Amino acid sequence: MPKRKAAAPARPRRRLGPPAPQPLPPGLPRAWYEDHNRRLKAMRLAIVLLDSGNYLPQQATNRRIRSVASRIGIHRPSAVTCRAVRSLLA
């Protein structure tokens, strides 16, 4: 009979879901924080659009992005944020 391999040690289980939020670095210009938050919002909206079957930037109109935002409880995105969402889908 062939020898059996020793059982591998159990790996610690990873927590499912988004990572825990970390504090933003202090002392940066206000524009940096605004841009950072805009990118996070665009990423959240792009994920929801992808999950709902909108894979192309042409499918993501401003109206559709804003309706998704209201449906998931995010403030109405600006035109700049909508462009950022489409660039993430591209």
The pLDDT tens digits for 7-55 are 667 777 766 666 788 888 899 999 999 999 999 999 999 999 999 998 8
Work out the burial of residue 60: count CB atoms within 10 Å of its CB; fewer than 13 is exposed, 13-18 middle, 19 or more buried: buried
The pLDDT assigned to 39 comes to 95
Q: What is the pTM of this model?
A: 0.73
The pLDDT assigned to 19 comes to 73
The pLDDT tens digits for 61-76 are 999 999 999 999 999 9
